[in-house]
Structure 1
């Protein structure tokens, strides 16, 4: 199999015309290249606007630390081959492979719908998680600004919100985030998978380069925004060697909170990841999958509540020890995400001002 330049999933014919190793930007430039240099063979990004009747998703999972989330986009142009959200595209009769990366959905009315939800008499606040399915700062956020609109509403209503991203695009909202931080209403997690820009382009082709993510963490800390590093996902024999280095780089930027997550391969992600391994790392594909299976009860993935987020076995224990030793040495600990829910105030609806 051959890879498609600028995409994570392996499918179709590869295009090497824009093989620019030094490119550090998000992926928008790839779609405009054809207009400049003539026709090229790569799947372009398309965006479909959707207008759902609800925007706040609730869950009762015992494995995650939040009970509600807002997903401004479906699909993700970052193209991370390991993304556990890929199977969600099958709900639209679309492929979890290239379709997930190229056929995106945006919800431009998200903030308006959320305003109606927060204004309901029975609503009770708790932190809203953004970036739990697809990245709220993927390239199309630059055009739609949906994430920013939700953050503006959270500031207006003093509603707590958390953000998880792989993009330094989050810095475009640093002023807004700093204002939210003044009221203890926000924390930002930036996930860093490796410190190797070339490996990052293979794993997550349209995400920001690792150095830019580390720099973004430092900018957020300087602005007074609680920012944490997530070494995620850790892929055995591919990215695990970067664990201590990522933590050290983040600590140098003033980051004091850190987490790690082992790779998960639910549903269609497993065959996509196997295909990616055979294409880019054929020399160790068998070893990688054997190690993943050893920490997932002999399977590619463990889907069970209570255990799916807790890898088991010798290899997982080794990563835990390495993480514990490194964070202790660097003065880092678990992220403090205790945000304030007591300041919440109902939003104005239909242009009417609140009496309180």
Structure 2
């Protein structure tokens, strides 16, 4: 398949700069045999008693840092934490950086360069009394580039760009489908007999990088760290065995449970990195429906939803959403996809 197969034209005014308020008032496009317009708060009526929502409980960290190597200012974007406590990062203005250099972020927060990789990446070991406290002090939120904040990230963004499920620190970007959920919606889902289980996928900096090859077989996905607890795996398997449907909230939740599943569709406990790249033709092992946002043209996420719901159905759904004034991307509206 080719990159050009996954393009579409989006009027700039369709890119959401702010989320809907309240969050569950966002619009929801149900994509099945036909297209139907709803609100996110209508989700309980679109699901069945016994269905299971799988949510990503990663918590977004302030992943952008500025450091100095002597007089040179170096930009750092955290990507993912390694088992030894070091981090894979992306560096900017770092042509002369080499292993052994120390990058000073503030008087109590620095990083030693362990290894310089290709493409501006590196492994760093951070030095701080409390790493996450140091991040909160010196880091900045890494909003997607299409959300313009010329005056800088606002306090409102720090609240808006975090889901109600956020618990495990480590994501560079939010699992944005989860941004639509509220306590009221969770209560309505429970009353309708729809349960929620939590998994974790720490969204990495690679989510912001474009696909740079036309032949998609040549693309290499960035790796991200994921976790599925034994309890979560058992719950997913039990619901499937009882005839309930598995509904990932977002492509991140879908990717981690598909990574944790065997060919028999049974989900196993998972603690590791996944670079699963889902294209049309992929056989889904676990997910039955998918609740997700509207994704960028030429993105791996648009390829994933096209694999799930069907290429032509997604093209029709996106054309409908644009014509009907839906809002797109991280702060935009949502869709509920039935599997093709």
Higher helix share: 1
Fold-level similarity (TM above 0.5): no
Higher relative contact order (CA 8 A, sep 6+): 2
Higher strand share: 2
> Under a length normalisation based on structure 2, what TM-score does the superposition of the two structures give?
0.29
